[in-house]
Amino acid sequence: MSETIREIIRDEKLGEEYFRMKHPSGLEILVFPMPDKVGTYALFTTNYGSIDTAIVKPDGTSYEIPEGTAHFLEHKMFEMEDGSDAFELFTKTGANCNAWTSLDYTSYMFAGAGHTKENLESLLEYVTHPYFSEKTVQKEQGIIGQEIRMRLDQPGSTVFWNLMSALYKKHPVGIEIAGTEESIFRITAEILYDCVENFYTLHNMALVVTGNADPDEVLAVCNAKLEVKPGTSAKRCDWEDTDAPTDSVIRVQKPMELPLFELGFKEAFEGSAPTYRDMLILELIMDAVAGECSPLYESLMNDGLVNSIYTEAEWGNGYAVAIYGAESKQPEVAASRICAEIERVKAQGLSPETFERSRRRFYAMEVRRFNEDDAVASALTSCFINGHGLFDRINVLRSLTLEDIVPVLQGCMRPGFSVLSIAEPLLAAES
């Protein structure tokens, strides 16, 4: 076996460090020891999410796979050939395990105190040795079909996916992660094995371990459990969807108390994709516009237009979205006030005080992250997916100036590229 490439990445000001290792199998291993923690938290992640609706072959040709396959595969990975499931492995050691599929990746986790070696072995074993049959696939189709129907009843989920599908007509980011009832019934065991072969190669995956973790112990488990063989990271489709949305307002009625809205902006950056720095600046601008400490937040609350406002930025392969959301008795009025404030800030710029307040707030949130093992693990997973380092965000915040944000401010949240997605109570639609 060839040698593992190993480096220690440290931030002197924070006094924090983590270990980055490139295993001969192709797996990236990221270990962040936290000596004060009793338990260990681990994420085993593949760079494969719901937007990957095609398999690209080495010769560049591709073929489509059903929407929702990544999520379906995540469910099936827990089943083992002997009829047991992976949950039983972790029950024996008192650990918790779970998994989730996002737009861009799929993660498998465990959290437990003690038995770190056994838990790591179980995690690596079941994810790298999947078993499917047509019979078990058909059984799962009914289970996930019911899950999809339940999600359709959730106003928050509906508002978000209506927003994304209105913003992106060509890019699969507008497709609900679980797919549709029609699409999942086209999934077969053969398709799942094809996805494993293409996306679950160790060259396309990362193991993140935080908390009570010893890098040498983690590496020893990987040496014992992982097979070294040729491979590369999966080829992914390059999506291009830059058109302005055709619908400006999307409405749906749901059984709920108060209307809920999300106002989303389809973002564009120089080059094919935004960088973590672009998106960090965008998040900071959004916080300055409507965050908890902003004048707009206070005025909307005082006027009884919202209960609170949340902001988030979603970005990945071929997409980037800025989202403002809130419960509101008058969603269109509240959204109009947000749009007006965005245009005011673009015209007048952020004041030094507003910029510094948001910059310090973000810096404090980044520092607090290092106290939680799951938060650090999620951040390291994001580093693997998006290609940056754990301390990069905090280093940007340290040096960021008011002048640095001007290019992003002037180019973001364009009026003609927004959609307002609203869910309102059924009674409101009938009255």
Q: What is the 3-state secondary structure (H, E, C) of 296-313?
A: HHHHHHHCCCCCCCEEEE
The pLDDT score that the predictor gives to residue 269 is 67
Across 160-175, average pLDDT: 95
Of the listed ranges 134-138, 205-209, 326-330, 377-381, the one predicted with least confidence: 134-138
Backbone angles phi, psi at 124, to 5 degrees: -65, -35
Token pair 């100036």 is found at 401
Q: Whole-angstrom Cα distance, residue 29 to residue 392?
A: 18
In CATH terms, the superfamily for domain 249-350+402-430 is Metalloenzyme, LuxS/M16 peptidase-like (3.30.830.10)
- CATH topology of 5-225 equal to that of 249-350+402-430? yes
Q: Whole-angstrom Cα distance, residue 173 to residue 161?
A: 9
Please give the share of the chain, as a percent, with pLDDT higher than 90: 83
Q: Whole-angstrom Cα distance, residue 297 to residue 415?
A: 20
In this structure, which topology does domain 5-225 adopt according to CATH? Cytochrome Bc1 Complex; Chain A, domain 1 (3.30.830)
8-state DSSP, 85: B
pLDDT above 70 (res 272) = no
For residue 236, name the pLDDT band (cuts at 50, 70, 90).
confident
| 430 in active site | no
The pLDDT score that the predictor gives to residue 189 is 95
pLDDT above 60 (res 429) = no
Is residue 75 within 8 A of residue 67, CB to CB? The reply is: no
pLDDT above 50 (res 255) = yes
E strands within 170-329?
Answer: 205-211, 249-254, 260-266, 310-316, 319-327
Across 312-341, average pLDDT: 96
Instruction: Give the start-to-end residue ranges of the domains of the chain.
Output: 5-225, 249-350+402-430
Catalytically annotated residue among 16, 28, 74, 327: 74
pLDDT above 80 (res 270) = no
State both tokens at 328. Answer: 């509101």
